[in-house]
Chain A
Amino acid sequence: MDRIKQLAGHLSSSKGRDALLRNGPDDVVIVFARRSPLTKSRKGGFKDTNSSELLTSMFKATIEHSGVDPKLIQDICVGTVLPKGPTYEARSAALAAGIPQEVPIQTINRFCSSGLMAVANIANAIRAGQIDIGLAVGVESMSANPDEGAHRLSDDIMNHPIARDNIQPMGWTSENVAADFNVTRERMDAFAAASFQRAERAQALGYFDKEIVPLEGFAKDPTTGERKRIIVSRDDGIRPGTTAEGLGKIRPAFPQWGHGRTTGGNASQITDGAAAVLLMTRRRAEQLGVPILAKFVTMSVVGLAPRIMGIGPAYAIPNVLAATGLSKDDVDLFEINEAFASMAVYCVQKLGLDHEKVNVNGGAIALGHPLDTHPRAYSSRPLRATGARQIATGLAELERRDKKILVTSMCVGTGMGAAAVFVRE
């Protein structure tokens, strides 16, 4: 009954959909959210472009397309995992891209969620009043920096029943999820096929053109070894004409674990890519006259058993909904990272989500997110640009649907989950 709801609203703090839809001058808003094309690692558009080059190009594109003078940026946070010297790369790339030396930078690493952590980190600094304007970037080149998994860990760790699971490959965790929660091969393949078909359709309709910013990369001549500059403007992981029947014929990637239901077709791809999100207070955005795309509301992160790390969103999403007073029906769109079809199927089912609201233009299975499907690969962790990429993708789709509330979420290697809430203007 409305009167009881109203009264409850007076007694609780500012929560719920109506509260979220109100604007205030201190809101942390997004004025720019674009991603690079996502290309197949070692085969795709960025295969000869290293991570510092990819990051430099992402910075350049941000300066060119955001309409905000880079001098005004007060801090930058880059989410990235694999580079050997990530902060060397980040600081140097920013300078080379034309960002003034007065603008500081840091890198952040919470594996698969690092892009989102960069956004949350900048948003929190804005909310705390430390800065007005900040840039969050997620970047990973799996071509240049392949994931070799954990280095040797201590004997104490290896004797700990939970901690030792962290040296296991991601594929093992996918099989654990499939086996523990009885997710069948058929449902996994059906979900994966839907991801491919949705991405294929979205690409054909030009949906991704709105969120992709073409980036400069390098191409190496295979005979002469000469590197020349190229422009990459299109995702190249999408396999047109994928069907569940077709995926059903692919042999298991990890027959040695569980029921061997994970394949190269129903897991995310290894990918190169980057994404950038520029944040500021609403007050500042209005002063500068830059269009506001969305408001960052909040982010939740949780821990769970590393052996089933994939179901992190099933914990993180309820957490962030409780924190914001939203119900799942208040949410217009979910972007849940598809590390594996096993975890994606489980999360959608466990949370009781409408599949028509989840990854409506495909997810990491079609677009990219790394799992080395070759059994030789020891371990692999999802694309660090994912957290920032989902924001660009989700906001563009909300715009097409004329809807308001986006939840992005991902599982995080070593047993965590993260989720965030955004409100489109």
Chain B
Amino acid sequence: MQAALPPPQLQVARTPSWAHYSIKPSPFFDHALAVASSANYGIIGNGRLHLLHTRPQLHVDKIFETQDGLYDVAWSELHEFQLASASGDGSVKLWDTNLKDLPIRAWHEHTRETMSLDWSNLEKDRFLSSSWDGSIRVWTPDRPHSLTALPAHAACVYQASWSPHTPALLASVSADGTLKLFDLRSPFSALPSTPAPPTPKNSASWAPPPVPLAPPTMSVVAHAGEVLTLDWNKYRPMVLATGGVDRAIKVWDARNMSRPAEEGAPLLGHEYAVRRVAWSPHRADLLASASYDMTARVWQTGPNGGVLRMIHDQHTEFVAGCAWSLFEEGVLATCAWDGRVHTFRV
């Protein structure tokens, strides 16, 4: 599955009036990208799942409409045509790219907005979702209910992600300012895994879960303010990056969380909150970030902090998502609230 030729320069796909929240490349097809999008900047209104092709030119290939804004998307690691979406109404839906209009499965257990999704590449039959309701839920396509529901934080869980090296280990970041690690093999009091009637949309503030918070394997106050994003390094086990409202990106070694990793002097430069960080799938020291400052940046991390490698400033609104091509080294895709998806070579 080699690409014929790398895209030499910036390619742009336009979807007017849709604010893009997240972009993910297919792990099976080198030409396929999925983008989670919302009308009205995700504040109110519908959502749309955009499927893009990179060849011959970057273009929108297919769309799925949803009732509420979409905040994240995750491709199945098991089935090349399936992918899941995270919706503002708290639902999680599974789609088949060969079908039209309707999802092949929908779950509704989160009581607030579903904020992120991540499919495990070690246990390929399962994926997780994180929510504003403070919980993380683990799903498998075959089951009508979540496999487990982890009461993880007492505030919005912006993102949760499986370790790419250790099964059942996951990391989460939250509005409470913390980065936490959970091992699902450790005991905890799970939330009920039954469909909870969601609270009326945007009605009340967050209410504490009915069970105590699960004890994390590790918890650290990662940023001064809300932590919006994290990613596991693909080569160095237990190394993570986080980004937050404090505009900083930090690199952590989870084996010594009392302080950021040695190379983790905060990567400073973004002028507003950091919305997404993504480690390169090809290099252990390359990190991309997307920010409310309308830029995406690429950093090379090293023993003395990090070096800013490039700034992508072609977007005209908040850049919410960024993802590296899994097949072509050095190709980055970004998506923003300006209704544009960019792919370019770093």
B50: min CB distance to chain A, Å:
21
Q: Which of B135-143, B224-232, B261-269 contacts A (4 or more CB under 8 A)?
A: B224-232
A4 to B43, CA, bound (A): 6
Q: Does B246 contact A (CB under 8 A)?
A: yes
Bound form: Cα–Cα A2–B275 in Å: 18
CB proximity of B87 to chain A, nearest CB, Å: 13
Contacts of B224 in A (CB 8 A): 14, 24, 26
Number of residues from A at the complex interface, CB < 8 A: 18
Residue of B nearest to A283 (CB): B258
Asked if B287 CB lies within 8 Å of chain A CBs, one says no
Residues of chain A lying within 8 A (CB to CB) of residue B2:
none
Contact of B272 among A3, A4, A11, A18 (CB under 8 A): A11
Given A11-B273, A14-B245 in contact, is the A2-B221 Cβ separation under 8 Å? Answer: no
Any B CB within 8 A of the CB of A13: yes
Indicate if A19 sits at the interface (CB-CB under 8 A).
yes
User: Is A349 positioned at the interface, with any CB of B under 8 Å from its CB?
Assistant: no
- Please state if B221 and A10 are interface contacts (CB–CB under 8 Å): no
In contact, A6 and B156 (Cβ under 8 angstroms): yes
Query: Do B226 and A9 touch across chains, with their CB atoms under 8 A apart?
Result: yes
Nearest CB in chain B: distance from A210 CB, A: 28
Known contacts A1-B43, A2-B202, A22 near B273 by CB under 8 Å: no
Instruction: Tell me what chain A mostly uses at the interface: helix, strand, loop, or mixed.
Output: helix
Minimum CB–CB distance from A194 to chain B (whole Å) comes to: 33
Report if B292 contacts A (CB, 8 A).
yes
Is there a chain B Cβ closer than 8 Å to A327's Cβ? no
User: For the complex, is A246 an interface residue (Cβ under 8 Å from B)?
Assistant: no
Residues of chain B with a CB closer than 8 A to A18's CB: 155, 175
Q: Do residues B221 and A22 form an inter-chain contact, with CB atoms below 8 A? A: yes
Contact A14 B225 (CB under 8 A): yes
Interface members, chain A 1-36 (any B CB < 8 Å): 1-4, 6-7, 9-11, 13-14, 18-19, 22-26
- A3 near B43 (CB under 8 angstroms)? yes
Distance of A26 Cα from B222 Cα, bound (Å): 12
CA distance A7 to B42 in the complex (A): 10
CB of A11 within 8 A of CB of B225, answer no
Q: At the interface, yes or no: B205 with Cβ under 8 Å from chain A?
A: yes
Which A residues are in CB contact (< 8 Å) with B176? 22
Whether A23 touches B225, Cβ cut-off 8 Å, given contacts A1-B43, A14-B245, is no
Which residues from chain A contact B156 at a C-beta distance below 8 Å? Answer: 6
Specify which chain B residues have a CB less than 8 angstroms from the CB of A7 in the assembled complex.
41, 43
In contact, B202 and A22 (Cβ under 8 angstroms): no
Interface string of B217-246 (1 = CB under 8 A from A): 000010011101000000000000000011
- Cα(A6)–Cα(B71), bound, Å: 14
> Is B339 interfacial (CB 8 A cutoff)?
no
Asked, given contacts A2-B205, A10-B245, whether A23 binds B221 with beta carbons under 8 Å apart, the answer is yes
Chain B neighbourhood of A11, CB < 8 A: 272-273, 292
- List the B side residues contacting A19 at CB < 8 Å: 225
Establish whether residues A13 and B225, one from each chain, have CB atoms under 8 Å apart when the complex forms.
Answer: yes
**Closest chain A CB from B273 CB (angstroms):** 4
**Given A24-B177, A25-B221: A9 in contact with B205 (beta carbons within 8 A):** no
Chain B residues positioned under 8 Å from A6 (CB to CB): 156, 175
* Alpha-carbon distance between A75 and B236 when the two chains are bound, in angstroms: 44
Q: Please name all residues of chain A whose beta carbon is closer than 8 Å to the beta carbon of B177 when the two chains form the complex.
A: 22-24
Q: Which of B224, B225, B272, B292 has most A Cβ within 10 Å?
A: B225
Q: How far is the CA of A18 from the CA of B44 in the complex (A)?
A: 23
Bound CA–CA A26/B225 (angstroms): 13
CB <8 Å contact, B155 and A1: no
Q: Is the CB of A10 within 8 A of B273?
A: yes
The interface centre, meaning the residue of B44, B156, B245 with most chain A CB atoms within 10 A of its CB, is: B245
- In the assembled complex, which residues on chain B have CB atoms less than 8 Å from the CB atom of A14? 224-226, 245-246
Query: Are B42 and A3 in contact, with the CB atoms below 8 A?
Result: yes
Q: Which residue of A lies closest to B42 (CB)?
A: A3
A291 to chain B, nearest CB (A): 19
**CB neighbours of B275 from chain A (8 A):** 10
Taking the closest CB of chain B, its distance from the CB of A4, in whole angstroms, is: 6
Q: A residues within 8 A CB of B246?
A: 13-14
Task: State A9–B273 Cα separation when bound (angstroms).
Answer: 10
Q: Is the CB of A24 within 8 A of B221?
A: yes
Where the two chains meet, the residues of B that have a C-beta atom closer than 8 Å to any C-beta of A are 41-44, 88, 113, 155-156, 175-177, 202, 205, 221, 224-226, 228, 245-246, 272-273, 275, 292
Can you name 7 extra interface pairs (CB under 8 A) apart from A3-B113, A24-B177, A24-B221? Answer: A1-B43, A3-B42, A3-B43, A3-B44, A3-B202, A10-B273, A23-B177
Some 19 contacts from A to B, beta carbons below 8 A apart, are A1-B43, A3-B42, A3-B44, A7-B43, A9-B175, A9-B245, A10-B226, A10-B228, A10-B245, A11-B272, A11-B273, A13-B225, A13-B246, A14-B225, A14-B245, A18-B155, A18-B175, A22-B225, A23-B221
Q: Would you list the 9 A-B pairs with minimal beta carbon distance, nearest first?
A: A14-B225, A22-B177, A10-B273, A24-B221, A3-B43, A2-B202, A1-B202, A10-B245, A14-B224
